[in-house]
Amino acid sequence: MKRANLAVVMTCHNRRNTTLACLHALYEQTNHCDVYLTDDGSSDGTAQAIKAQYPEVHILQGNGNLFWVGGMHLAFGEAIKNQYDYYLWLNDDTFLEANAVSELLQIHQNLTEQGYSDSIVVGSTQDPITGRATYGGAVKSKKWYSNKFEFLNPSSVIQKCDAMYGNCVLIPKTVVAKVGNIDTAFVHTLGDLDYALRARKLGCQIWVAPGYVGTCTKNSIRNSWVDTNLTILERLKKALQIKAFPLKSWTIFCSRHSGLFWIFYWFLPYIRAIIGYKNLALSPTFSEDVNQTNS
């Protein structure tokens, strides 16, 4: 397979060692790539360390308030200007296995040969300690009363899905030409799901690669909007914060993707914040292990 013209799109904030470890695993890949990384106002020397160890990385500076969507939008937009064949979204806490990138590219080439060139390919990740699946593709809940997207466990073959979590996502230029950049109507969450759903409305498809492309630890439930150790009022306040379901972003998402009765679905996360999760194993976002913390 000929070498792909690939841009890797990343954003980071105050996780210097984690970001450097991610870049180390990325540069161990066999495929040449250009890296576009937004350093969103880190105060721990992340940008300086990257410049010292990986001077070829294109670093864009944020003000500390871009969060995931804003940081990715900035880096993605800069990469798009240079018209690459492929773009890889990569979270800075995702550590790729050897040959992960080449495998994703090969999958897209195979899909193209089958007539599915407008396809996004999603890589799944697993917990480095437990081996449990953490992030990847998602499918719409079959429950009529839910607009949730549930994690799709990877198998030994590629699988079609409805949406994805943006930890490791390969997007070809044909999809970018149709969908464009991540929508800054969102701030931290929902931007990846929205991108997937907009892509599908435009005739693109989303596929989950077989197996796992790397490791990534799930967010801890501790101190989150589903932490039942907090009071109901505290959980509701957290549910409205930027990293959960802020009113403006959640309203846009629901009205855009949840049909005529979207207002019914709009209430669901806030109701969930009140009653809590009965089974956190079903959560696509949180880990049951409250002792986990991000590096």
Burial 11-49 (b: 16+ CB within 10 A, else e): bbbbbbebbbebbebbbebebebebbbbbbbbeeebbeb
H-state helical runs in the chain: 16-27, 46-53, 67-80, 100-113, 173-179, 191-201, 232-239, 247-257, 262-266, 268-275
* Predicted local confidence at residue 222, as pLDDT: 82
Nearest partner of 136 among 154, 118, 149, 119, judged by Cα: 154
Rounded mean pLDDT for each run of 10 residues along the chain, 295 residues in total: 78 98 97 97 98 98 97 99 98 98 98 98 97 96 79 97 98 99 98 98 99 94 85 95 96 95 93 76 54 38
In this structure, which amino acid lies at residue 38?
T
Residues 6+ apart with CB under 8 A from 54: 23, 27, 35
CATH of 6-215, one of 3.40.50.2300, 3.90.550.10, 3.30.420.40, 3.60.20.10: 3.90.550.10
Distance CA 100, CA 219 (A): 23
Cα atoms in the 13 Å half-sphere on the side-chain side of 192: 27
User: Within 10 A of 109 (CB to CB), how many other CB atoms are there?
Assistant: 15
* Predicted local confidence at residue 279, as pLDDT: 57
Contact 31, 55 (CB under 8 A): no
Element spanning 289, H or E = none
Contact 113, 235 (CB under 8 A): no
What's the whole-model pTM score?
A: 0.93
Tell whether the torsion through CA atoms of 244, 161, 121 and 81 is positive or negative. Answer: negative
The pair phi, psi for residue 282, each rounded to 5°, is -85, -10
> Which ranges in the chain are annotated with CATH 3.90.550.10?
6-215
Burial class (CB in 10 A: 0-12, 13-18, 19+), 157: exposed
* Predicted local confidence at residue 145, as pLDDT: 64
The pair phi, psi for residue 53, each rounded to 5°, is -90, -30
* Predicted local confidence at residue 142, as pLDDT: 83
User: Within 10 A of 128 (CB to CB), how many other CB atoms are there?
Assistant: 12
